[in-house]
């Protein structure tokens, strides 16, 4: 499966590449300590039956690089589905030296990033995202 990017308007996000970040899970996610036996670490290891095939494993974060190949409009959102459903961080840069600028407005917990566009955005705005 891949990551799907859905725009609330006319913008089109084209992924250039995605890198898996194997540094582990987010610090707030401690499910891996349970060992899928309902215990806690360090606890009794008698019930420790770690497995990544039962659906309890948490996927690691990914670094996504791409471009908006169709212009963004103000307050446009991009929603992620598939292999990533949360946006953790965004760096976006407009390639224009004109007065138009594209900036991140907010990220919500549902995998939606919203952008602010001042003026008219160029196409080919580069966007880097850390997603999970």
User: pLDDT tens digit string along 2-11?
Assistant: 899 999 988 8
Q: In what order do the strands lie in the sheet with 112-118?
A: 3-7, 77-82, 112-118, 101-108
Confidence of residue 129 (pLDDT cuts 50, 70, 90): very high
* The two three-digit tokens of residue 45, written as one number: 């290891």
* The two three-digit tokens of residue 32, written as one number: 């891996």
pLDDT at site 56: 56
What are the E-state strand segments in 1-132?
3-7, 12-20, 62-70, 77-82, 87-93, 101-108, 112-118, 125-131
pLDDT at site 103: 83
**So where are the chain's domains?**
3-23+60-131, 25-59
């Amino acid at each position: 499966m891949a990551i799907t990017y859905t725009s609330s308007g006319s913008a089109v996000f084209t992924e250039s590449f995605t890198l898996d970040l194997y540094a582990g899970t987010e610090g707030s996610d401690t499910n891996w300590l349970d060992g899928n036996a309902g215990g806690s670490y360090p606890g009794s290891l008698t019930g420790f039956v770690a497995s990544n095939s039962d659906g309890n494993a948490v996927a690691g974060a990914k670094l996504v690089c791409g471009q908006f190949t169709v212009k963004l409009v103000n307050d446009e959102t991009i929603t992620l589905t598939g292999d990533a459903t949360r946006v953790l961080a965004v760096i976006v840069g407009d390639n224009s030296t004109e007065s138009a600028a594209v900036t991140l407005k907010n990220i919500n917990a549902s995998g939606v990033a919203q952008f602010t566009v001042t003026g008219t955005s160029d196409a080919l705005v580069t966007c880097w995202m850390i997603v999970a």
